[in-house]
Structure 1
Amino acid sequence: MAPINDADRDDARTLWDFNTLNQRARPVSAAVALGGCDIGVVTAVATLYRARLFPTVVFTGAVTEATLGRFPRGEAVHFREEALALGVPDEAILLEPRATNTGQNITFARAVLEEAGKHVDSVLLVCMPYMQRRAYATCRRQWPEAEVVCVSETVSFDEYAKYQEDEAGFVAMMVGDTQRVMEYPRRGFAIEQEVPERVHDAFERLSKRGYDAWLLRD
């Protein structure tokens, strides 16, 4: 893959703007923090918990290919430890350490809440910024009975990209997320969403430029 350039970044901003929903957090029955490579998810959870927007949070995520080097004991385990360090009390935390994809994040977290006797009719998804649209669409399909709001840390594309150890790898992951927004409704994994032509075009250009490491191959 050629070095990342300004044209690539412009296309990446287009995908970022599409995938970040800018929904407003509000009080809900419970929060579900989706595993991933960004510990900033936990920072957002701690802030939202201190704002008293939910009484319980489920941290969900196993060891995955994308996060093995960073979270070798599993995403949920590391996220829980960070949450405790940030002042979220242990009694407010439930752990789901088996999920390896977003559909499992939702369905397994839902089962953990039910097993804990929590009645949930509204849920706050907390995830990486560029994962918002996919997470929201997945939850709407997998948990249709619950009202869903999806949020992340408040951060711009440029701020987020600046602190990535591998900017090209981050863009490749966002390309993969965008493909899943388009493809997963056909597979029954998520609800259908309108994808503007400019997003399709940016996705195609970045894919052809080599940001294809996280694309579906089947």
Structure 2
Amino acid sequence: MDEQLRADAEVLWHYHHLRHEPRRTDVGIGLGSHDLGVAGYVAELYHAGRFPLVVFTGANAPTTVGMFPRGEAVHFGEHARALGVPATAIRLETRATNTGENITFTRDLLRDHDIREVTLVSRPYQQRRAYATCRKLWPEVDVVCAAKPQTLDEYLHTIADDDRVINMLVGDTQRITAYAERGFAIPQPLPATVRAALQRLIDAGFTKRLV
């Protein structure tokens, strides 16, 4: 990747980081994906006392079925238990195949709980879209978004698939506007610098995750 495209990827990376102030909430919700690090960070936050209850949500997408054949939520839950989160604190939502379903199915799963504040734990570049989706579909709760603190370089090294990460970063950025227009999420600001970086990456061929 040339220097300009790498800089553009950094622009998108920082755009998705909401930098919410950490606080204790009623539940931590780990959004399923290809990134098992989400489950690891949920475990870290649980042990830090950020929430007493954990929900992992996700069935499979075409990009994850090979890694997590029994479903994202199942594998994430197993990973969290291996990191010391007690099984009694974990709930699994195993049907969701997109972020909207992650939110709505988890909301339904927790209907009998008094949930007023939630922590959404996701891939670093999914934070803004997860927030916008939750505010639209579960407006009665306060939302804190969280992701493992790391640089783009560190994340690329962890995933070891630059093409996949950049394509998903581009796709998540495009969805900010596209999903708000379709009524799936609340609108989010999209600065001109972000629009320009997004377009250059699309023009460079990072189009595999566009809707």
Q: Check whether TM > 0.5.
A: yes
Which one of the candidate residues 38, 44, 47 is aligned to 1:47?
A: 44
- The residue aligned with 1:157 is 152
Find the aligned partners of 2:10 and 2:152 in 1 and give their Cα distance. 6
> What's the counterpart of residue 143 of structure 2?
148
CA distance in 1, matches of 2:193, 2:143: 27
Match of 2:25 in 1: 28
- CA deviations over 1:65-91 (Å, ceiling 9, x no partner): 111121111100000000000000001
Q: Residue in 1 aligned with 2:175?
A: 180
- Do the aligned residues in 2 keep the contact of 1:125 with 1:150 (CA within 8 Å)? yes
Distance (Å, rounded) in 2 between the aligned partners of 1:15 and 1:205 = 11
Structure 1 stretches of at least 4 aligned residues deviating more than 3 Å after TM superposition: none
1:12 and 2:9 equivalent?
yes
Map 1:100-139; keep pairs closer than 5 Å: 100-114=97-111, 117-139=112-134
Work out the CA distance in 1 between the residues paired with 2:3 and 2:78.
Answer: 38
Distance in 2, Cα, partners of 1:94 & 1:150: 19
Give the alignment's TM-score, normalised by structure 1. Answer: 0.95
Determine the C-alpha separation between the residues in 1 that align with 2:143 and 2:28.
10
Percent of aligned positions that are identical: 49
Paired letter, 1:100: T
Q: How does 1:42-121 map to 2 (within 5 A)?
A: 42-114=39-111, 117-121=112-116
- Provide, for residues 93-130 of structure 1, a one-character-per-residue CA deviation record: whole Å limited to 9, x for no partner: 0000000000000000111111xx31101100000000
2:66 partner amino acid: G
Structure 2: runs of 5+ lacking an equivalent: none
Under a length normalisation based on structure 2, what TM-score does the superposition of the two structures give? 0.98
3-state SS of paired residue (1:148): strand
SS of 1:31's equivalent? strand
Distance 2:180 2:87 in 1: 36
Specify the code of the residue in structure 1 equivalent to 2:99.
T
Q: Which runs of 5+ in 1 are unaligned?
A: none
Q: Aligned AA for 2:128?
A: R
1:141-190 Cα shifts (integer Å, max 9, x gaps): 00000000000101111111122221011100000000001111111101
CA distance in 2, matches of 1:157, 1:21: 15
Q: Evaluate the alpha carbon distance shift between residue 69 and residue 6 of structure 1 in structure 2; reply closer, same or farther with a 3 A threshold.
A: farther
CA RMSD of aligned residues (A): 0.9
C-alpha distance in 1 between matches for 2:82 and 2:159: 23
Figure out how many residues of one structure are paired with residues of the other and give that number.
211
Question: Which shows bigger deviation, 160-169 or 71-80?
Answer: 160-169
